[in-house]
Copies of this chain bind each other. A is one copy, B any other.
Amino acid sequence: MERTTNFNAGPAALPLEVLQKAQKEFIDFNESGMSVMELSHRSKEYEAVHQKAKSLLIELMGIPEDYDILFLQGGASLQFSMLPMNFLTPEKTAHFVMTGAWSEKALAETKLFGNTSITATSETDNYSYIPEVDLTDVKDGAYLHITSNNTIFGTQWQEFPNSPIPLVADMSSDILSRKIDVSKFDVIYGGAQKNLGPSGVTVVIMKKSWLQNENANVPKILKYSTHVKADSLYNTPPTFAIYMLSLVLEWLKENGGVEAVEQRNEQKAQVLYSCIDESNGFYKGHARKDSRSRMNVTFTLRDDELTKTFVQKAKDAKMIGLGGHRSVGGCRASIYNAVSLEDCEKLAAFMKKFQQENE
């Protein structure tokens, strides 16, 4: 088998070693005579998987003791609703920094539950940068919502704001890709399907003290406290997805943890951005340089025709997932943790050759 080089935006590439381990024990997990997915979620064997995923996440991210960690279903998209449903109150406002399509979706769901306000936005520039934020007016808001990495536009917060109100971050597309100070946030959430594992499980990291603000009259299944009390076992969790998450976290730890992966991610992104910057405009980066994402590298080519050829030729060379999102056009290379430096070098070499052939 020749392995495809996978630049998908999510679900995305997983480490080959992780897939191999999961394959090996797929039918007989830990000599149980069963697959992980056949274990009861109330069994000792599964409990160990669940706790391993949790404790590795705590260790790798440096999550302080006063935070809860939840494994939920519904994707980051369900968090867009669960957050205001539980934490927006009539007398308060949810503040948003708008940095892309995912911020927009989060905002739209929040509007159903109460007052919202846009603190800053780069919408008029097609979300090509992370805007400056002035937090003078948000003093008594319910929370400030940001999207740490903008998967579609290829921008990323370089530094997080010191928010006077609880800071909530959708980190779906850059969680565990770099060191962050968790204590700055009241809530961090993200779908697993970029840096953490397969789709089907959503990680939520929530400050314990914040849970006290939870609204009444929320359905039990949609209350955070329900899942906190039950340690994410209130109803049947997506056990296999959590198992895969545990393997990915183990792999990350074995490969030097967040510090090492952050360095690799810097290098990887550098290889591609250099290629863009040195192309004399053949490739145009969408993101403003000071806002560039190390996870999603977005760039456009001369026209649609050439873009199509680029994507097709890359595919012929066994590199997939390079078509950009329609709201930006052009191309996007998603280079999450499981994409290697060699993968990025392969793409950069291809890009240089393609430029020579088509300039």
Contacts and interface: CB of A to CB of B under 8 A. Distances in A.
A239 interface: yes
A193 to B, nearest CB: 6
B199 A237 contact: yes
A38 interface: yes
Interface in A1-46: 1-4, 6, 8-14, 16, 19-20, 22-23, 26-28, 31-35, 37-41, 43
A33 B81 CA distance: 36
A109 interface: yes
B26 A19 contact: yes
Contacts of A238: 73, 198-200, 238, 241
Contact of A108 (B77, B80, B220): B220
Max chain B CB contacts within 10 Å: which of A201, A235, A244?
A235
A318 interface: yes
Contact of A219 (B26, B112, B193): B112
A235 to B, nearest CB: 4
* Copies in the assembly, this chain: 2
A74 B74 contact: yes
A327 interface: no
Nearest to A194: B236
A28 B8 contact: no
Contacts of A78: 73-74, 221-222
Nearest to A27: B19
Interface residues of A, number: 68
Contact of A13 (B11, B38, B108): B38
A81 B200 contact: no
A81 B73 CA distance: 14
A204 B247 CA distance: 31
Given A221-B77, A234-B77, A239 B27 contact: no
Contact of A236 (B16, B20, B199, B235): B199
Interface in A270-324: 318, 320-321
A219 B85 CA distance: 10
Interface of A: 1-4, 6, 8-14, 16, 19-20, 22-23, 26-28, 31-35, 37-41, 43, 73-78, 80-81, 85, 105, 108-109, 112, 191, 193, 198-201, 217-222, 234-241, 244, 318, 320-321
10 contacts: A4-B32, A8-B40, A11-B39, A11-B236, A22-B26, A37-B199, A73-B75, A75-B236, A77-B234, A240-B240
